[in-house]
């Protein structure tokens, strides 16, 4: 059986390209979000509002309400999928290219550097624009690392390579660009402080690349969540071992709320065990009675954030 994972892309028979946002299926459908359409012979990336408006007007069959997540998403029946873009296979295809373009060349250089440091590439893939050949001259490189152990090995290696000047920490212009793209509810200085200690991004040949962790999970489709409205709390993180997962999870020391679950990359790896954080997001109650906060209930996550306010 074909496995659909977050960071994969799928293309429909109409030529619409969706980013997969969840492992597995719900009601026989892949949960996803429309990201690209063909326009004038080229791929055009869509913002959330544009994507929703297009589907409402022309393809309402791809709009979906997830009862499990209590959220409006997009979803594609397996029978409607014409192409399944998989990060691992795409990376191997690019590495085998005879005439790579500038961004592909930077990706190849990065992979060669990793190989020189003893890294094998079987845990790596490529997502984002490169996954469907929609890259432009200023595109970033979005790497996928499969497996938590391998991901943290890559993070440690990036830190070492920056120290050796084989990779570069993001400069002011790159940080400003990253901050503007995120459009998050943190100040610029707060954003950079949190990001600089994650070591999941750097520059190669002045091009930014990111690491994204995909850790296979056992799907619990028998648990559903109901949103109770926005809430802001402060609490101490007592377990952050899944801080870089998708979704990221932070276990809390709180009288009623057990965890924070985060679906936006902005706040992945945002806090460490023992740190006190302020969280703003959607309060959710599970069918099991568990209470949690969801950050990233929409792609933009406006008004939703995680930030460290003190360290123990």
Q: What is the mean pLDDT of the chain?
A: 93
The model's pLDDT over 34-62, given as tens digits with 9 standing for 90+, comes to: 999 999 889 999 988 899 999 999 999 99
pTM of the model: 0.90
Interhelix angle 102-116/148-163, nearest 10 degrees: 100
Interhelix angle 102-116/87-95, nearest 10 degrees: 100
Q: What angle do CA 101, 105, 108 make, to 5 degrees?
A: 140
- The pLDDT value given to residue 181: 87
Tokens of 266: 């902005």
Higher pLDDT, 120 or 210: 210
State how far the Cα of 190 lies from the Cα of 186, in Å rounded to an integer.
6
Q: 225-311 adopts what CATH topology? A: OB fold (Dihydrolipoamide Acetyltransferase, E2P) (2.40.50)
Cβ density class 188-212: b for 16+ within 10 Å, e for less: eeebbebbeebbbbbbbeebbbbbb
**Domain residues of the chain, as ranges?**
9-85, 87-214, 225-311
The model's pLDDT over 163-190, given as tens digits with 9 standing for 90+, comes to: 999 999 999 999 999 999 888 999 999 9
Confidence of residue 70 (pLDDT cuts 50, 70, 90): confident
Alpha helices in the chain (DSSP H): 48-58, 87-95, 102-116, 129-132, 148-163, 172-182, 188-196
């Amino acid at each position: 059986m074909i496995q659909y994972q977050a960071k994969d892309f799928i293309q429909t028979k109409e030529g619409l390209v969706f980013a997969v946002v969840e492992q597995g299926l719900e009601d026989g459908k892949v949960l996803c979000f429309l990201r690209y359409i063909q326009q004038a012979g080229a791929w055009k990336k869509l913002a959330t509002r544009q994507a929703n408006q297009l589907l409402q007007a022309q393809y309402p069959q791809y709009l979906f309400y997830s009862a499990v997540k209590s959220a409006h998403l997009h979803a594609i029946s397996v029978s409607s999928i014409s192409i399944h873009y998989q990060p691992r296979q795409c990376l191997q295809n690019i590495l085998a290219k005879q005439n790579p373009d500038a961004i592909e060349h930077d990706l190849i250089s990065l992979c060669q550097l990793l190989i020189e440091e003893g890294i094998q590439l079987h845990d790596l893939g490529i997502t984002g624009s490169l996954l469907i050949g929609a890259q432009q001259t200023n595109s970033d490189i979005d790497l996928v690392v499969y497996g938590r152990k391998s991901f943290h090995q890559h993070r440690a290696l990036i830190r070492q390579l920056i120290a050796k000047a084989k990779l570069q920490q993001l400069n002011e212009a790159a940080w400003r660009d990253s901050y503007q793209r995120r459009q998050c509810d943190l100040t610029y200085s707060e954003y950079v402080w949190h990001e600089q200690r994650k070591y999941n991004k750097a520059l190669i040949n002045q091009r930014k690349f990111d690491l994204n962790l995909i850790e296979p999970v056992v799907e619990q489709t028998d648990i559903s969540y109901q949103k109770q409205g926005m809430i802001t709390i402060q609490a101490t993180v007592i377990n952050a071992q899944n801080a870089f997962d998708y979704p990221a999870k932070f276990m809390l020391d709180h009288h009623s709320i057990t965890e924070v679950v985060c679906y936006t990359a902005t706040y992945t790896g945002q806090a460490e065990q023992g740190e006190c954080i302020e969280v703003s997001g959607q309060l959710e109650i599970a069918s099991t009675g568990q209470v949690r906060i969801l950050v990233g209930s929409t792609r933009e996550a406006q008004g939703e954030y995680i930030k460290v306010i003190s360290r123990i």
